[in-house]
Amino acid sequence: MNSRRPEEPGGFKGFEGFETRAIHAGQEPERSTGAVVPAVSLATTFAQDAVGVHRGFEYSRSGNPTRSALEACLASLEGAARGLAFASGLAAEDAVLHLMRPGDHLVIPTDAYGGTFRLVDRVWGPLGVSHTAADLTGGDPAGALASAWTPSTRMVWVETPSNPLLSIVDIAAVSEAAHERGALVVVDNTFATPYLQQPLSLGADMVVHSTTKYLGGHSDVVGGFVAVGDESLADRVAFYQNAAGAVPGPLDCYLVLRGIKTLAVRMDRHCANAAAVAAMLSRHPAVRRVFYPGLESHPGHATAARQMRGFGGMVSFVLAGGEGAALKVAGGTSLFTLAESLGAVESLIEHPHRMTHASAAGSPLEVDPGLVRLSVGLESAGDLLTDLRTALDRLG
């Protein structure tokens, strides 16, 4: 893993374990009182000792102590030179896309979050940034990348595991191929989290997160994050963070920071429950296909096993009965809540074609109407299996 990260005060330096850093990085006890939980700084402005001489903070859009603690912690977990927090995952993605200029070209995945596609296609497209969708999941990612390449390609966008088909991309292979052609590589690491996967150590230039999901982990905060492996590149993203001001409030930063403390133990349980759900779905006659990288039948299983610590908490599946059956199952569970979003302690179920990925209709990223996506939570595995099996059995 890339070991570059901000130096930590208060005796933290030297302790390298992921769980240790998740609890302590950027969060030394408060100096005057000894409080072990960093204070939530609600101040919008900070007194200066002289004109232009301050103590690290001047105005909360430019920097806030609570936000700095979150940025230091998550940068440490991603092995980044620097981390930058944003008001949402899409705000983080938009900041990264501001590295592009009119006339530049972007390679995106054929399977990706619908909001990402909408941002690239309907916001940045009219501004002169073009894109091509490429399937980078096969055995020849360099060849797939070459087929989508243009003389103006400046960036390659990767999701792995992807949303909603849980496709796996070989980050190291794509990064090598993109760098040989002079492009930056951005990896959306939301599904994996830094506990399961560190893309910067595999060659990526930047990592983006929706911290709303697993990092926050409790469906009570919206946020985004960019982890950058190079200081000069981080300066460019930081300029936009300050200039455009799509920053999270201190209470949002506190909630994400609190969620990160239990990330490792939560992800272990998410992975175990998802594996049990995927195995059951694979055996059910109403299910035509299951997408979960932990299954040996998954085409990306070997790559996922090589670059991930575990296979995550997301499972998708296609019903043999098509869209009608998918809608019945999505609306027919009791424990799985019908809702968008993912990555929290409670289990969620949704119909991507009509919900999270509706914006991709008619595009190369359009989703099978028979697909159902699960965010498998932390409930008792037996209860989750019973709930899904009951909904599936009702299909007859």
Positions marked catalytic:
61, 113, 188, 213
Query: Considering Cα of 49, then 55, then 59, then 65, what sign does the dihedral take?
Result: negative
What's the order of all strands across the beta sheet hosting 153-159? 82-86, 224-228, 206-210, 184-188, 153-159, 105-109, 130-134
For residue 80, how many C-alpha atoms fall within 13 Å in the half-sphere facing its CB?
30
Indicate the residue type of 57. Answer: F
CA-to-CA distance for 103 and 328, rounded, in angstroms? Answer: 45
Helices and strands of the chain, counted as H and E runs: 13, 12
230-236, long-range: CB < 8 A, 24+ apart: 230/81, 230/205, 231/81, 231/82, 233/184, 233/205, 233/206, 234/80, 234/81, 234/82, 234/84, 236/99
CA-to-CA distance for 228 and 344, rounded, in angstroms? Answer: 25
For 16, 80, 162, 257, 325, the CA distances from 74, given in Å and listed in that order, are 14, 8, 21, 8, 40
Looking up tokens 């501001």 gives 98
- The single-letter DSSP state of residue 203 is T
Indicate the residue type of 43. Answer: A
Q: 83, 211 in Cβ contact below 8 A?
A: no
CA-to-CA distance for 132 and 153, rounded, in angstroms? Answer: 10
CA-to-CA distance for 108 and 353, rounded, in angstroms? Answer: 19
